[in-house]
Structure 1
Amino acid sequence: MKFFGLPLTLLLYMAFLATSCNEQEKSCLLQFLAGILPEDGNTMSWRDGSGTDCCKWEGITCNESGSIIEISLASRSLEGSISPALGKLTGLLRLNLSYNSLSGGLPSELISSGSITVLDVSFNRLSGVLPKPHPSILEQPLQALNISSNLFTGQFPSTLWERTRNPVAINASNNSFNGLMPSSFCISSSSFAVLDFSFNKFSGSIPASLGECSALRVLKAGYNNLSGLLPDELFNATSLEYLSFPSNGLHGLLDDAHIMNIRKLVNLDLGGNTLNGKIPDSIGQLKRLEELRLNNNNMSGELQKINFYKLPNLKALDLLYNNFTGTVPESIYSCVNLIALRLSGNNLHGQVSPGIGNLKSLVFLSLGANNFTNITNTLQVLKNCRNLTFLLIGTNFRADCSLSGEIPLWLSKLQNLEMLFLNRNRLNGPIPAWIKNLNSLFCLDIYSNNLGGELPAALMGVFELPFYIGSFQYRITSTFPKTLDFSDNNLTGVIPQEIDQLKSLEKLNFSFNSLSGEIPQQLSSLTNLQQLDLSSNHLTGAIPLALNNLHFLSQFNVSHNDLEGTIPIGGQLSTFPSSSFDGNPKLCGIMVDKLCGSAEAPPFSVHSTAQTVKRVVFAIAFGVFFGVGVLSDQIVLSRYFG
């Protein structure tokens, strides 16, 4: 009621004072701006509007008193250094400069701030050692620190959190911190919920004191140089949901009693260590478990004895490269939410059970390098897994178990199929036209079979091998080359001109067939092509000059055909050895050391018969494919296994 006696102008003045930042805080912002180059459109407005209220500047938030409480300038393409002046903003609570290109060090004024509770400078180029809090700071309010994906080095300061009120989270992943992993996190407070130190250079053992972090939900320190045992005390952190130590040097056993202490666990990743012993029976007590990764260890035991019935939420199981024996347990087929299953590289035997058809969500299945039998039955039962996208079952079945007959019709129903490997079998008949309807397919490999007939033009027109660059869903699989490999079959006829519609194709192999006619000019439209092999056919005519425009071409082979004329020079084809053109006596040019239009030519000899060459190339191709097969397993599965 007393305000009613005040003049209106005085009330407006008081309101203005309550919402405007002061000159000192504005000066701090402009000092920060002075170190940023180039200025983006948002921060440029700060300088242009230097006479206006800085509380209204882009990315600035003030409280009712006009004090700056938040600066949020993430993903603004900022370059330059972070000014220490930001530490003088006494009311600043949250500072977010993530996803920029800032360099230099992290000012100690920010670490020792008496107000900042959340500091996020992740995904920049900051370097140097992480500053320690100023000795005069008795208590600091910092609760969450994200410095991940920078270039920090040196030891992580163990005193950083000893005087913190209620610390919650720290993410220091993807840097170059070294020395021992910090051990003082929960000395003064047990409130930490998230600790991520993965992708650094920490060594030594896992601190036993981490078991005192009773509120800890996420603990990640994979891809370091840690060694020793998993400390017993660690399992006292009963709130753990995510425990991840992959690719270190840990050894020892997984204890039954300890595993039971962390029943809230959702993700357990201990792959890439030297753990031994069996999978604890108590693993079935982790009813919330969604991902279990124990790949690349020395673990053993009979797999069929593990009870998976009590793991209804399991989505990913990775036991790659261990020493497990026995058969695949029937209980695993009760995990109806399973998306990815990798059992390759063990000593498993027997047949794949029809029960696998219960895994309706299964997308990735890798069973290779075991001793399974009956491939025909395996393919029959797998046809019920309609979402199966990646199937890796090689190096299981002996030659007398190879697939025979035509390419199975039921494959046409796998509309989500992205990669199809049917190589090195005894398939015959034509290439079915229904393959054109597999719209997600980007890798088709059916080399070394007995397939015959002509290359269907319709397949070229519809089968466009979609290019998934820029799509998060396919960010991993897009690194695998878009492939069409029909080599070592009995295909006849000409190469269809419609092949120019396969714009994203990177690898094309029609070698060791009976194709005839000329090399189509349309191949020059495949500008993403990196490998082209048309060798050991009956192709005639000249090599198209336009193939010189395939600037990404790194492998090229047209040897052992009936080609003639001058080999194009002055472009990409000039970079390949003479062996790429061998076995075409009518070809001439500097690549084969034979002058065009000359009756005399230097002696030219073919050092092996076509049959011998075919055997050698086949042996090389087998070796290359085996290596690529293992590599593809690693690339593709990373989409589902971290």
Structure 2
Amino acid sequence: MQSLHFSCKKYSCRLPVPVLAVALLLLVSLATTASSCTEQEKASLLQFLAGLSQDSGLAKSWHEDGDCCEWEGVTCNRNKTVIEVSLPSRGLEGRITPSLGNLAGLEHLNLSYDSLSDGLPLELLSSSSIVALDVSFNQLSGDLHELPSSTHSQSLQVLNISSNLFMGQFSSTTWKGMQNLIALNASNNSFTGQIPSHFCNISPSHTVLELSYNELSGSIPPGLGNCSMLRVLKADHNNLSGTLPNELFNITSLECLSFSSNGLQGMLDGNHIVKLSNLVILDLGENNFTGKIPDSIGQLRRLQEIHLDHNSMSGELPSTLSNCTDLIMINLRINTFTGELAKVLNGSKDLTTLLIGVNFMNEAIPYDDSIDGFENLKVLDIGECQLSGTIPVWISRLVNLEVLALNGNRLSGPIPTWINTLNYLFLLDISNNSLTGEIPKELMNMPMLISEKTAAHLGPRIFDLPVYDGPTRKYRVPISFPSALQLGNNKFTGVIPPEIGQLKALLSLGVISNNLTGPIPPSICNLTNLLVLDLSNNNLTGKIPAALENLHFLSAFNVSNNNLEGPIPTGGQFNTFLNSSFDGNPKLCGPMINRNCSSGEAGPVSIVYKKSCGGKVIFALAIVVFFGVGVLYDQMVLSRCFG
């Protein structure tokens, strides 16, 4: 009826009433040819239900005396044939029974993001009706045995078995009956062996092949060059070796080519790379590639992301890179690129992320006022380059900047007072430089760090990092950059501004190894979201404010090598800190450092300080995300992108 309506609209015709009535009666008669699903379909679904040890209330909907077409997660066509079972993220536990393979009309099966275990029934893979099968993010295990030789061609087009516990050889014989397969995602498992060399001879229409986060080894098979329709090819985080075969560049339809975190080597051949004219994402980071970026890279006009970080590439960056006007992300960290840095910061209005740290060693940081075209830049990393100069004014024009890493250089002079005009900046790392002066009050007025309401929304630019759960289970989850001020290893003087207490969205504060004096401001106790606080190696005096006990999420604390005195607080998180956190303060006392306090020093915990912090603790979403992978962000998050 819907298509009839559109065709009428197209040709501007109107059907007479009797014709519409006849059409309506015809549809009604078709809809009533079957009153409910068949008993066989109902029995197959109930067998699946019986195989679950935890159905999360599904049994309340799946009544034996009801019509299974009305059951939750079950969809039927007009003939009352079950065509779809969709139960993602339902917390289902138990096994998948082979009975689902008896649903002769089943086309789509989605059991993703549950807790299903045991194996994947062969009956589902060999089904003559299933077109799309998604069992990703479960705990399914075992080998995927090859289909029996008597199996006819399957209808399966989309298969997602990612993020499970499958293992064994990833051989072409496993997939030999799947001539119609278009997309396969087998990432985040423990498959071994080589990538099948004749994969696309079996499935000539294949467009998506994702094999990341496995234990695949050997070289990239030249036979993949026969995948003439392939658009996505990903095999990150495996044990692949050798070079990129020339045949790979025959896949002119390729849009995403990603082999990061392997043991690949060789150079990028300009005559080959230019063939991939449809390429949108090129990710060869964390390998052993050498040589230059070829000039022909500029002909890849659709390129949006280029990741060549953590290699041994060298030479000057090609000026033709500016021809890739659609670029959103450039990650060239940790190589040995040379040349004038000013030539790199040049004209890409869509660029949001530029990571070029640990390159261009010992140059001067650009001061060219003509540097522009970065109005959408959100993440800028030019750290660990040993650059000289002061923090340049052109950075103040990056009005959308959220993350700025200038650490590990030889920058001098003060923190510029325009810093708080960067309204979206929430992570500033200027540690390990030679910056001087006092910590400006303008730094205590960073808009994104002041309000707790922004804490849950920090870090719009998301990076994917691996999270390991057990010896074989690997997931790739989004981790937001933490809101942080890293000012350590400079030459700052003066006191820690008491206005620091305004930065309620701050998760990490580091001012290690400066020349700061005065007390630890009690206002720090207002930073109830704080996870990391490092004030070590300064000249701070006075007592450790007892009110810091109220920082319930503080997991890393260090005030060693100062001139602090008095009792160390003993409540809250202070019971979890290492003794070394207080070393080098001979006037501190307390049981954790085996130094008794005098009767005058060891008084009760101050009630005034506790009240000043307020009684309500904001459990921000950013903290939930951050705790999911550990507290020490600079060992995990920043080390992946800035390390």
TM-score range, shorter chain: 0.7 to 0.9
Structure 1 residues 492, 13: CA separation in 2 closer, same or farther (over 3 Å shift)? closer
- The answer to whether the aligner puts 1:636 opposite 2:638 as a matched pair is no
Cα distance, 1:124 vs. partner? 1.5
Cα distance, 1:80 vs. partner? 1.6
What is the one-letter code of the residue matched to 1:459? M
- The answer to whether the aligner puts 1:509 opposite 2:511 as a matched pair is yes
What pairs up with 1:533-552 in 2 under 5 angstroms?
533=535, 535-540=537-542, 542-552=543-553
What is the one-letter code of the residue matched to 2:548? L
1:576-609 CA deviation, whole Å, 9 max, x = no partner? 556544555544333454433389xxxxxxxxxx
Which of the residues 404, 407, 410 maps onto 1:420? 404
What is the one-letter code of the residue matched to 1:150? N
Please tell me whether the aligned partners of residues 484 and 508 of structure 2 are also in contact (alpha carbons under 8 angstroms). Answer: yes
Cα distance, 1:175 vs. partner? 1.4
Structure 1 residues 330, 378: CA separation in 2 closer, same or farther (over 3 Å shift)? farther
Distance 2:589 2:566 in 1: 6
Cα distance, 1:349 vs. partner? 3.0
Which of the residues 51, 55, 68 maps onto 1:35? 51
Residue in 1 that maps onto 2:237: 223
Structure 1 residues 200, 504: CA separation in 2 closer, same or farther (over 3 Å shift)? same
Cα distance, 1:311 vs. partner? 2.8
1:231-270 CA deviation, whole Å, 9 max, x = no partner? 5555555544444433334xxxxxxxxxxxxxxxxxxxxx
**Which deviates further from its counterpart, 355-364 or 555-564?**
555-564
Structure 1 residues 523, 18: CA separation in 2 closer, same or farther (over 3 Å shift)? same
Residue in 1 that maps onto 2:115: 101
**Which deviates further from its counterpart, 293-302 or 56-65?**
293-302
What pairs up with 1:293-304 in 2 under 5 angstroms?
293-301=283-291, 303=293
**Local SS of the residue matching 2:531:** coil
Cα distance, 1:126 vs. partner? 1.0
Distance 1:521 1:450 in 2: 25
**Local SS of the residue matching 1:499:** helix
Distance 1:360 1:554 in 2: 40
Distance 2:463 2:511 in 1: 25
- The answer to whether the aligner puts 1:67 opposite 2:72 as a matched pair is no
Please tell me whether the aligned partners of residues 418 and 442 of structure 2 are also in contact (alpha carbons under 8 angstroms). Answer: no
Please tell me whether the aligned partners of residues 236 and 260 of structure 2 are also in contact (alpha carbons under 8 angstroms). Answer: yes
Residue in 1 that maps onto 2:9: none
Residue in 2 that maps onto 1:263: none
Cα distance, 1:21 vs. partner? 1.0
Please tell me whether the aligned partners of residues 329 and 352 of structure 2 are also in contact (alpha carbons under 8 angstroms). Answer: yes
1:52-97 CA deviation, whole Å, 9 max, x = no partner? 3221222222233322222222232222211221122222222222
1:359-394 CA deviation, whole Å, 9 max, x = no partner? 222232233333456524356454552333333334
Cα distance, 1:491 vs. partner? 3.2
Distance 2:539 2:338 in 1: 41
Distance 2:355 2:288 in 1: 19
Q: Which runs of 5+ in 2 are unaligned?
A: 1-26, 465-477, 601-631
Distance 1:216 1:557 in 2: 52
Structure 1 residues 408, 156: CA separation in 2 closer, same or farther (over 3 Å shift)? closer
Please tell me whether the aligned partners of residues 127 and 150 of structure 1 are also in contact (alpha carbons under 8 angstroms). Answer: yes
Please tell me whether the aligned partners of residues 131 and 155 of structure 2 are also in contact (alpha carbons under 8 angstroms). Answer: yes
Please tell me whether the aligned partners of residues 351 and 373 of structure 1 are also in contact (alpha carbons under 8 angstroms). Answer: no
Which of the residues 362, 374, 396 maps onto 1:385? 374
Which of the residues 147, 169, 177 maps onto 1:133? 147
Structure 1 residues 520, 395: CA separation in 2 closer, same or farther (over 3 Å shift)? closer
- The answer to whether the aligner puts 1:403 opposite 2:389 as a matched pair is yes
- The answer to whether the aligner puts 1:174 opposite 2:176 as a matched pair is no
Residue in 1 that maps onto 2:419: 435
Cα distance, 1:358 vs. partner? 1.8
Structure 1 residues 521, 178: CA separation in 2 closer, same or farther (over 3 Å shift)? same
Please tell me whether the aligned partners of residues 444 and 502 of structure 2 are also in contact (alpha carbons under 8 angstroms). Answer: no
1:543-593 CA deviation, whole Å, 9 max, x = no partner? 222323434444434345554432323553355556544555544333454
Which of the residues 452, 455, 458 maps onto 2:437? 452
Cα distance, 1:309 vs. partner? 4.2
What is the one-letter code of the residue matched to 2:52? I
Distance 2:246 2:343 in 1: 41
Structure 1 residues 95, 470: CA separation in 2 closer, same or farther (over 3 Å shift)? farther
Distance 1:134 1:162 in 2: 10
Please tell me whether the aligned partners of residues 200 and 223 of structure 1 are also in contact (alpha carbons under 8 angstroms). Answer: yes
Cα distance, 1:22 vs. partner? 1.8
- The answer to whether the aligner puts 1:334 opposite 2:323 as a matched pair is yes
Residue in 1 that maps onto 2:97: 83
Residue in 1 that maps onto 2:212: 198
Structure 1 residues 181, 628: CA separation in 2 closer, same or farther (over 3 Å shift)? same
**Local SS of the residue matching 1:484:** strand
Structure 1 residues 194, 330: CA separation in 2 closer, same or farther (over 3 Å shift)? closer
RMSD over aligned Cα atoms:
3.8
Please tell me whether the aligned partners of residues 418 and 440 of structure 1 are also in contact (alpha carbons under 8 angstroms). Answer: yes
Q: Which has the higher contact order (CA 8 A, sep 6+)?
A: 2
Structure 1 residues 238, 587: CA separation in 2 closer, same or farther (over 3 Å shift)? closer
Please tell me whether the aligned partners of residues 292 and 318 of structure 1 are also in contact (alpha carbons under 8 angstroms). Answer: yes
Cα distance, 1:522 vs. partner? 4.3
**Local SS of the residue matching 1:69:** strand
**Which deviates further from its counterpart, 502-511 or 55-64?**
502-511
Distance 1:12 1:296 in 2: 61
What is the one-letter code of the residue matched to 1:18? A
**Local SS of the residue matching 2:449:** coil
What is the one-letter code of the residue matched to 2:69? C
Structure 1 residues 631, 554: CA separation in 2 closer, same or farther (over 3 Å shift)? closer
**Which deviates further from its counterpart, 627-636 or 351-360?**
627-636
Please tell me whether the aligned partners of residues 157 and 182 of structure 2 are also in contact (alpha carbons under 8 angstroms). Answer: yes
**Local SS of the residue matching 1:27:** helix
What is the one-letter code of the residue matched to 1:360? K
Distance 1:629 1:498 in 2: 21
Cα distance, 1:169 vs. partner? 2.8
1:254-305 CA deviation, whole Å, 9 max, x = no partner? xxxxxxxxxxxxxxxxxxx12x2453235345433333334445544455x6
Please tell me whether the aligned partners of residues 218 and 243 of structure 1 are also in contact (alpha carbons under 8 angstroms). Answer: yes
Which of the residues 18, 38, 41 maps onto 1:22? 38
Please tell me whether the aligned partners of residues 179 and 204 of structure 2 are also in contact (alpha carbons under 8 angstroms). Answer: no
Please tell me whether the aligned partners of residues 458 and 483 of structure 2 are also in contact (alpha carbons under 8 angstroms). Answer: no
Distance 1:167 1:561 in 2: 65
Distance 1:551 1:583 in 2: 25
What pairs up with 1:89-488 in 2 under 5 angstroms?
89-156=103-170, 158-164=172-178, 166-187=180-201, 190-228=204-242, 230-231=244-245, 234=248, 239-249=253-263, 273-274=264-265, 276-301=266-291, 303=293, 306-353=295-342, 356-371=345-360, 374-377=363-366, 380-382=369-371, 384-397=373-386, 402-404=388-390, 407-423=391-407, 425=410, 427-429=412-414, 431-447=415-431, 448-453=433-438, 455-456=440-441, 459-460=444-445, 462=447, 464=449, 466-468=454-456, 473-474=461-462, 479-487=480-488, 488=490
Cα distance, 1:189 vs. partner? 5.6
Cα distance, 1:416 vs. partner? 1.9
What pairs up with 1:608-619 in 2 under 5 angstroms?
none
Normalising by structure 1, we get a TM-score of: 0.76
Structure 1 residues 75, 311: CA separation in 2 closer, same or farther (over 3 Å shift)? same
Please tell me whether the aligned partners of residues 341 and 366 of structure 1 are also in contact (alpha carbons under 8 angstroms). Answer: yes
Which of the residues 471, 483, 492 maps onto 2:494? 492
Cα distance, 1:408 vs. partner? 4.3
| Identical-pair percentage | 44
Distance 1:472 1:426 in 2: 28
**Which deviates further from its counterpart, 488-497 or 79-88?**
488-497
